[in-house]
Structures are given as structure tokens and as C-alpha cells.
């Protein structure tokens, strides 16, 4: 079988991989994007991803360059305030509430939130508009062999691809990463996350609320109104056995549990989607490049879902790679280009992983004395205006 030549092979059709395919395709490169599973693009279909993604505003330029942002804007809920609630006292109720308002540092919201199933729908539609992009749902990248001139990939259907650059966006168990021999370091927490959507009585007013008690945060992230009423996506992090118990509860009992854990901050919550369970780990690749290969997103780094860092770090990877490709298209996939990408991203990634790891460990505290220390630290940091603004800028990834 003859090899199909392309500028870029994007392995992985998650949010990061689809964005990469759209961005490079919009920039004029020929792109093939593989995905072992067909994206689920219907909210109520089996397998729909009921997590949501908050695009922080530094990520918007790459979405604009990909021709995606105009598609996504009508469906996005702005995130104007990040609210931290400490409910670590003897009773599950707010004892400290602190608001981090984007207006202190910018005339823009912190970001915009969209459900993941909808992101896939709009991104797949964008790929159909690009004649230089071939999307292959249901087809995996099975083998990769690299050499100085090009990367050679074999797909699960037997097709053979010759690419100047392979972008590995194929997740935490990345086949491409394994094929090119890049090791990872993985940290487990004994945690899992429940992801689901809720309808609620009180409007969210574009406030993302992170409630800390023990086991991990319970985070309510604004969604656009649904069926005429307020809606939010929820990520509830807890120990693995507790998540298994919660996931198996009948709906009425589960709703009682989420109403207790939410401390009533948005009034009565009603489950409005399926419940999905996700493992919580931190994982870092020992390097982000190999010959003719760049790792981005969860192929390179995985972290707990705290502070909307994961996907926005993935888009920062993509933005750096896209800038280098467009600055010198002739050097696409070269050793010099990939070495520059490694220098730009790897240290930043490691530093941010360490920060999120610390935040997650703090959120898991169960001992009352340690919870009190956490509450005191939140109070102290918030009370210092310059420190508060620095923390907000650091969360956005800006200086």
C-alpha cells in the first residue's frame, strides 16, 4: 500500500487534538487527524462527555486562529468570578467565602465555559470546512517509526502515513508516546471525579464556585441556561470508594448528597445528565519531543481538574507549536523547531503540575486542624491585594 503524505498527523480526536487539527489546517498545512473512537456530539447519547471546559482568555487567540471561536461563543458561559468556599468546619456549610473577580486584572472575564460534548460537535463541523484536513474517526494511530526526514505511521485500518510532524494528542495512555519511547512519571491520589450537569434554583451569575471540605473540591461551573433555567456543570472529587458509592446511588439519594455537599450555594440542585467517573492523577512525560514528534495535552501532562488548568495548558502547548510552525513552515518538524518547543514548554509544564499537585493535596485534607490551617491560609492570601492579583494572573498563565 502506498504511503499517504501529509504535513502533520494529529493522533487523537479529543478537544485538544481536534483544536490542533483545525489550527494547523487553518494555517494552510495539510493535516490528517485520527481518533480511535467516533466523537460523541449529542448531549443525551451514550458515552457523551458531561465534563465542561473553561477556556481562559489567554487561550482564545489559538481558538480564533483555528476558526473555532466564532462557532463556540454563542454557546459559552462567561466566568467573571472564581469563588472559593471553605466548608471545612464541623458542619457542611460555608464558613469562609472569597471572590476572585476578573475585573481586578482585566476588562475580560477569566474565561468561558462550554460542555465537552458540544465542543466536539462544533470542532468536527469546523474540520469539515477545511479541504486540507482529513478526519478519520474510528481509526487509531497504531504504529509510529521516526527518522530524520519524516515520521512513518501505520493506522489501525492499515493505511500508511508519511508526515513531517506527528502531534501526539492521544491522551494519558498515548500510543505515539509509547512508540517513540518517552517515559512518564505518574502520581496517584486515591481519588476519582464524578462529572455531571445540574439545574439549580439560584442563578450562577457567571460565578464558578469551588467548595472545599475534604476528599477534594466540589466545583460548580456556569453553563448557559437550559430549558429556561440556570444550569452548571459539576466536578466532584472524592476518594475512589466514595465516588463508586455516589455513582451507584439512586437519583433521589444522589441529589440529596449533592445538595448537602454544595452547601446550598445555588439553592436546590437537580441532576440533569448522566454521571461519569474519571480517575485523578498527575502525570508528566520525561520530555515533550522525539524525532519528528511533539507531545501536547494529556500525552504530555495530566493533572487534577483544579483551576481550569488542564486544557488551557494543552492549548498553550498548541499555541507554542503553531507559532513555531508558522514562523518557518519549511522547518516543520525539524530538530531545531522541536528543541525550541521543548525549551518553551517543558519547564512551564513541570512548574504548573507541581502547583496543581499542591492545591489538590490541600483540598483533600480531612483532619479538622489541617482544614483550619487551609481556611486561615485562604483568608491571609485573599486579604493581601497584590498577592491576590498575582495569584489570579498566575492562574491565567499571564504575567
Please report whether residue 245 resides in a domain: no
DSSP SS3 for 256: helix
Nine cell digits for residue 116: 465537552
Please report whether residue 60 resides in a domain: no
Give me the tens of pLDDT residue by residue for the chain, a chain 399 residues long. Answer: 579 999 999 999 999 999 999 999 999 999 999 999 888 888 888 888 888 888 988 889 999 999 999 999 999 999 998 888 888 778 878 888 888 888 887 788 888 999 999 999 999 999 999 999 999 999 999 999 999 999 999 999 999 999 999 999 999 999 999 999 999 999 998 999 999 999 998 999 999 998 988 778 899 999 999 889 999 999 999 999 999 999 999 999 999 999 999 999 999 999 999 999 999 999 999 999 999 999 999 999 998 887 767 788 999 999 999 999 999 999 999 999 999 999 999 999 998 888 888 877 777 666 665 665 656 555 555 565 564 555 545 555 555
Please report whether residue 371 resides in a domain: no
Query: In the Cβ-directed half-sphere of 80, how many Cα atoms lie within 13 Å?
Result: 6
CATH of the domain at 338: 3.50.50.60
- Count of residues for the chain? 399
H helices present in 28-113, as ranges = 60-65, 69-72
Please report whether residue 159 resides in a domain: yes
Please report whether residue 305 resides in a domain: yes
DSSP SS3 for 179: helix
Strands (E), 227-327: 229-239, 269-271, 276-285, 289-290, 293-295, 301-302
| Through-space distance between the first and last CA atoms of the chain, rounded to whole angstroms | 51
Please report whether residue 395 resides in a domain: no
**Domain coverage including residue 145:** 3-40+116-186+283-360
Nine cell digits for residue 361: 493535596
Please report whether residue 33 resides in a domain: yes
Q: What's the pLDDT at 212? A: 86
Q: What's the pLDDT at 394? A: 55
Q: Are strands 160-168 and 3-11 parallel, antiparallel or unpaired?
A: parallel
Total number of domains in the chain:
1
Q: What's the pLDDT at 382? A: 52
Task: Report the distance separating Cα 95 and Cα 340, nearest Å.
Answer: 47
Integer-rounded Cα Rg, in Å, for the chain is 21
Please report whether residue 373 resides in a domain: no
Amino acid at each position: 500500500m502506498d504511503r499517504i503524505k501529509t504535513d502533520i498527523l494529529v493522533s487523537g480526536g479529543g478537544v485538544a487534538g481536534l483544536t490542533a487539527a483545525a489550527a494547523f489546517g487553518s494555517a494552510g498545512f495539510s493535516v490528517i487527524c485520527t481518533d480511535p473512537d467516533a466523537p460523541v456530539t449529542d448531549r443525551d447519547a451514550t458515552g457523551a462527555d458531561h465534563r465542561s471546559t473553561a477556556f481562559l482568555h489567554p487561550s482564545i487567540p489559538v481558538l480564533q486562529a483555528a476558526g473555532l471561536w466564532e462557532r463556540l461563543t454563542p454557546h459559552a458561559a462567561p466566568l467573571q468570578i472564581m469563588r472559593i468556599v471553605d466548608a471545612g468546619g464541623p458542619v457542611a456549610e460555608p464558613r469562609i467565602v472569597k471572590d476572585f473577580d476578573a475585573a481586578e486584572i482585566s476588562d475580560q472575564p477569566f474565561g468561558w465555559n462550554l460542555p465537552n460534548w458540544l465542543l466536539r460537535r462544533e470542532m468536527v463541523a469546523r474540520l469539515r470546512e477545511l479541504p486540507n484536513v482529513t478526519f478519520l474517526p474510528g481509526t487509531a494511530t497504531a504504529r509510529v517509526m521516526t527518522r530524520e526526514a519524516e515520521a512513518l505511521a501505520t493506522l489501525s485500518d492499515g493505511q500508511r502515513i508519511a508526515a513531517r510532524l506527528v502531534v501526539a494528542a492521544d491522551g494519558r495512555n498515548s500510543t505515539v508516546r509509547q512508540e517513540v519511547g518517552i517515559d512518564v512519571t505518574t502520581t496517584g491520589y486515591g481519588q476519582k471525579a464524578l462529572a455531571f450537569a445540574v439545574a439549580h434554583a439560584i442563578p450562577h451569575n457567571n460565578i464558578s464556585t469551588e467548595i472545599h471540605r475534604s476528599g477534594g473540591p466540589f466545583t460548580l461551573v456556569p453553563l448557559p441556561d437550559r430549558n429556561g433555567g440556570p444550569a452548571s456543570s459539576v466536578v466532584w472529587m472524592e476518594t475512589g470508594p466514595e465516588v463508586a458509592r455516589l455513582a451507584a446511588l439512586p437519583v433521589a439519594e444522589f441529589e440529596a448528597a449533592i445538595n448537602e455537599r454544595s452547601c446550598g450555594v445555588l439553592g436546590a440542585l437537580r441532576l440533569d445528565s448522566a454521571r461519569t467517573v474519571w480517575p485523578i492523577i498527575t502525570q508528566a512525560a520525561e520530555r515533550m519531543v522525539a524525532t519528528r514528534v511533539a507531545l501536547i495535552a494529556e500525552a504530555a501532562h495530566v493533572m487534577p481538574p483544579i483551576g481550569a488548568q488542564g486544557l488551557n495548558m494543552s492549548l498553550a502547548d498548541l499555541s507554542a507549536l503553531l507559532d513555531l510552525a508558522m514562523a518557518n513552515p519549511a522547518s516543520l518538524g525539524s530538530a531545531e523547531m522541536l528543541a525550541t518547543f521543548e525549551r518553551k514548554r517543558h519547564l512551564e509544564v513541570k512548574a504548573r503540575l507541581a502547583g496543581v499537585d499542591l492545591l489538590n493535596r490541600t483540598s483533600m485534607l480531612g483532619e479538622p486542624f489541617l482544614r483550619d490551617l487551609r481556611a486561615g491560609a485562604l483568608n491571609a492570601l485573599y486579604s493581601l491585594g497584590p498577592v491576590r492579583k498575582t495569584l489570579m494572573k498566575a492562574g491565567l498563565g499571564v504575567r
